[in-house]
Structure 1
Amino acid sequence: MNPMSLLIATAVLFVGSHLLLSHPLRDGLASRLGERGFQIVYSIVAFATFIPLVQAWRAMPPEAPLWTVDEPLWALATLIVLFASILFMGSLIGNPALPSPKAAFAAQGAPRGVFAITRHPMMWGFALWAFAHALVMPTGAQLLLSATIAFLALVGSAGQDAKKARLMGDAWRHWAARTSFVPFGRQVAGAAPWGDAIPRGHALFGGILLWLAATWGHGALGYMAAGIWRWIG
């Protein structure tokens, strides 16, 4: 199997296993294993399929970039990763989309901060992170890897809407009616004030710290310098 075919195969395995476990197989496995047991199995499968995907990506031969990557494009990608980091950190507290016994209670609150931006801030964080990498590493292998992560994040979010509506009923439907799938969708439509979408402290400062640490680690681990370290390193 040539390197690109192997990368495609591992990407299909990664996405397919996630979607199967998240939706058609979830209820049956959770009823047999319990919620905690299911989460353990899900995590094992996730790592077991992600590692071959990364190994296949690393094994790709050098490729010519599909477009020129200049400093303005790097600056744009840096800002996108910062925004993605803020969304991710904000999603860790009070998120009705996470598997938690307090999810229905969290859904009763007014959407604020990252949840006023999108009801799936964690998944959009992953998707935007993948998009930023595609911007500055425009090779066939990186585009495939980024598309795999973005597809799983956004299609998985759409599936999560249906699953949560089934599990939480009106609590989730009311939450969905007051939030947007697409970032800033309600603000652009005039259905919510822009002030509601200002990230809260844990999202803003936690996101900045995550962004600084992750971009510093990018260079420290031997990859190309990223983030502000590209200009101040």
Structure 2
Amino acid sequence: MALACAAFVGTHFLMSHPFRKGLVRGLGANGFALAYSAVSLALFYWMIVEFTRAPKGDFAWPVGPFLWGVATLVTLVAAILFTGSFVRNPSLPGAPDAMATQDPAGVFKVTRHPMMWGFALWGIAHILVAPRVDNFIFAGSIVFLALVGAKAQEIKKASLSGVEWDAWLRRTSYWPRFSMLPSAGIGPWFAGILLWGVATWAHPYLGVAGAGIFRWFAGI
């Protein structure tokens, strides 16, 4: 499983940075996007397969209702950040440089990397309630890729966008300002709660422990 996780993380960094220009030149922008997505999905599937096969060892710390409650709230915040990241996001591929000159709105009031922090918080929450070696590797890889990848993305955007991206950096924060979450807007909150509800409801059907409010409703 460690090999699959290393391949997933490594190819993301290689294809996003040192190999990107050559691949775009050879495949074209659309071809590169397709190849990048295909490689990422294939390696993520490999990660999941290896994770399901990995031996489940003992927990590194006891997990009780308190940690489950914390993880429930953390995954809700992650879902809100993730769903809100698709609206007016200057970090997305193909986003116009001028978008970075706008005032931050929605979840970008919280952090300029809501998608990455959504992934990272998801990973942290799952480590909290399943502190096993296999999960440290699996979820830890996602946390590492999200947070280090966000910083690498900033370096790339700075070289491509210049003053527009510098202005965006001055008006936003890398680290989440959770006090701004209530002002993210109805859209991200509604979409986030919906995603969070469906994802937690689906846990037992995916062969994993019940999660979120459904954990208590199911009497687990």
User: Please, what TM-score do these two structures have when normalized by structure 2?
Assistant: 0.95
Q: Kindly provide the amino acid, as one letter, of the partner of residue 218 in structure 1.
A: H
Is contact 1:115-1:197 (8 Å) kept? no
Deviations 1:118-143 (A, max 9, x none): 10000000000000000001100001
Q: Distance in 2 between matches of 1:108 and 1:230?
A: 43
The CA deviation at 1:153 is 0.6
Matched position secondary structure for 1:107: helix
Deviations 1:40-75 (A, max 9, x none): 000111012112211111111231111111001100
Question: Structure 2: 5+ residue runs without aligned partners?
Answer: none
Q: How does 1:1-233 map to 2 (within 5 A)?
A: 7-102=1-96, 104-184=97-177, 198-233=183-218
User: Please, what TM-score do these two structures have when normalized by structure 1?
Assistant: 0.89
Aligned length: 218
More deviation, 151-160/215-224: 215-224
Q: Kindly provide the amino acid, as one letter, of the partner of residue 213 in structure 1.
A: V
Is contact 1:112-1:196 (8 Å) kept? no
Question: Structure 1: 5+ residue runs without aligned partners?
Answer: 1-6, 188-193
Is contact 1:113-1:197 (8 Å) kept? no
Q: Which runs of at least 4 in structure 1 moved beyond 3 Å after TM superposition?
A: 194-197
Q: Distance in 2 between matches of 1:131 and 1:107?
A: 29
Q: Distance in 1 between matches of 2:68 and 2:181?
A: 29
Is contact 1:77-1:133 (8 Å) kept? yes
Is contact 1:11-1:145 (8 Å) kept? yes
Q: Distance in 2 between matches of 1:32 and 1:168?
A: 23
Q: Distance in 2 between matches of 1:28 and 1:62?
A: 41
Q: Kindly provide the amino acid, as one letter, of the partner of residue 172 in structure 2.
A: T
Q: Distance in 1 between matches of 2:91 and 2:210?
A: 34
Q: Distance in 2 between matches of 1:210 and 1:22?
A: 28
Matched position secondary structure for 1:198: helix
Deviations 1:150-201 (A, max 9, x none): 00111111110011111111111110111111111xx8xxxxxx55861112
Inter-CA distance 223–196: structure 2 relative to 1 (3 Å threshold) = closer
Q: Distance in 1 between matches of 2:63 and 2:181?
A: 35
Is contact 1:87-1:124 (8 Å) kept? yes
Is contact 2:201-2:214 (8 Å) kept? yes
Q: Distance in 1 between matches of 2:9 and 2:166?
A: 27
Q: Kindly provide the amino acid, as one letter, of the partner of residue 138 in structure 2.
A: L
Alpha-carbon RMSD across the aligned residues, in angstroms, is: 1.5
Q: Distance in 2 between matches of 1:130 and 1:121?
A: 14
